[in-house]
């Protein structure tokens, strides 16, 4: 099976080599759990391997994302260079609409040969709809459209509850994969942890494992327990 390596240390091992091609993954987590960093590193590592990527932001401005990632990953010295050469594009839709998001995605794939995409976040997509049922119908159609694209998409989903209390959303059912990011309370300290909750088409680790966001990238401590 063809796979795409996330490039995140330890994660590809947990995924038995990577994410199956054209599978779309929900990156699920509460505020500050590292969703943006995690997704940005996936694009960064792709860009370094010759796979262009697009980060579609509906919340923070593109410039703020780039600045934060430069501050977060100080040892990724060439972020700006990759952005300037369009190997990583960070875009916000002109109009606050799902069609605008689709347009960016399709343009990036056609014009820029993007193989990796991040949508930050589906929670903001949801905010475009007055009616929950309308959102559900549209997001299902949207995932059907994604299946036709030659691209691996990460879609960030903001968790409604803290710690490990996962409230399942429509995205959990329709995404091919789910990676949950946590900021767990451990006796007054916050510990970062993640788990691969599902990944269609491949076996994977089901362990809850600690991770750290370091200046030279995220480290997932495979085989370690969260204390």
Q: Where do contacts with Mg ion occur on this chain (CB under 5 A)?
A: 35-36
Instruction: Mark 15-34 with x for binding to ligand ATP (rule: CB under 6 A) and - for no binding.
Output: --------------x-xxxx
Distance CA(74)–CA(217), nearest Å, equals 9
122 touches ligand ATP (CB under 6 A) = no
**32 vs 223 by CB, closer to ligand ATP:** 32
1 binds, among ligand ATP, Mg ion, none (CB under 5 to 8 A by kind): none
37 touches ligand ATP (CB under 6 A) = yes
8 Å CB contact between 117 and 152:
yes
**16 vs 123 by CB, closer to ligand ATP:** 123
Residue 34 CB, nearest approach to Mg ion (Å): 8
**35 vs 87 by CB, closer to Mg ion:** 35
Residue 31 CB, nearest approach to Mg ion (Å): 8
Residue 128: HSE in the Cβ half-sphere, 13 Å Cα cutoff: 20
36 touches ligand ATP (CB under 6 A) = yes
Residue 108 CB, nearest approach to ligand ATP (Å): 21
Residue 210 CB, nearest approach to Mg ion (Å): 20
37 binds, among ligand ATP, Mg ion, none (CB under 5 to 8 A by kind): ligand ATP
DSSP result, the chain: --EE----BTHHHHTTTSEETT--EEEEE-TTSSHHHHHHHHHHHHHHTT-EEEEEESSS-HHHHHHHHHHH-TT-TTHHHHHHTTSEEEE--SSSSHHHHHHHHHHHHHHH-EEEEEEE-HHHHHTT-SSHHHHHHHHHHHHHHHHTSSSEEEEEEE-SSSTT-PPP-HHHHHSSEEEEEEEEEETTEEEEEEEEEEETTS------EEEEEETTEEEE-TTPPP-
**149 vs 153 by CB, closer to ligand ATP:** 153
Q: Interface residues for ligand ATP in 166-225 (CB under 6 A)?
A: 213
50 binds, among Mg ion, ligand ATP, none (CB under 5 to 8 A by kind): none
Distance CA(39)–CA(155), nearest Å, equals 9
6 touches ligand ATP (CB under 6 A) = no
**196 vs 218 by CB, closer to ligand ATP:** 218
State the residues that interact with ligand ATP by CB under 6 A.
29, 31-37, 71-72, 213
């Amino acid at each position: 099976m063809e796979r795409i390596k996330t490039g995140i240390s330890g994660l590809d091992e947990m995924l038995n080599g990577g994410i199956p091609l054209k599978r779309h993954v929900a990156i699920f987590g509460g505020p500050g759990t590292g969703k943006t960093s995690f997704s940005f590193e996936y694009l960064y590592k792709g860009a370094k391997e010759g796979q262009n990527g697009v980060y579609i932001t509906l919340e923070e401005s593109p410039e703020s994302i780039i600045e934060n990632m430069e501050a977060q990953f100080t040892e990724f010295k060439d972020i700006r260079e990759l952005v300037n050469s369009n190997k990583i594009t960070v875009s916000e839709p002109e109009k606050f609409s799902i069609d605008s998001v689709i347009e960016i995605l399709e343009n990036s794939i056609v014009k820029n040969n993007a193989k990796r995409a991040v949508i930050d976040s589906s929670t903001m997509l949801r905010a475009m709809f007055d009616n929950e049922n309308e959102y559900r119908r549209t997001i299902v159609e949207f995932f059907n459209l994604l299946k036709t694209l030659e691209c691996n998409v990460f879609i960030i989903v903001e968790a409604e509850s803290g710690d490990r209390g996962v409230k399942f959303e429509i995205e959990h059912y329709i995404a091919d994969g789910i990676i949950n990011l946590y900021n767990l309370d451990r006796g007054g300290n916050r510990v970062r942890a993640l788990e691969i909750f599902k990944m269609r088409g491949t076996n994977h680790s089901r362990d809850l494992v600690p991770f750290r966001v370091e200046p030279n990238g995220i480290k997932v401590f495979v085989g370690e327990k969260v204390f």
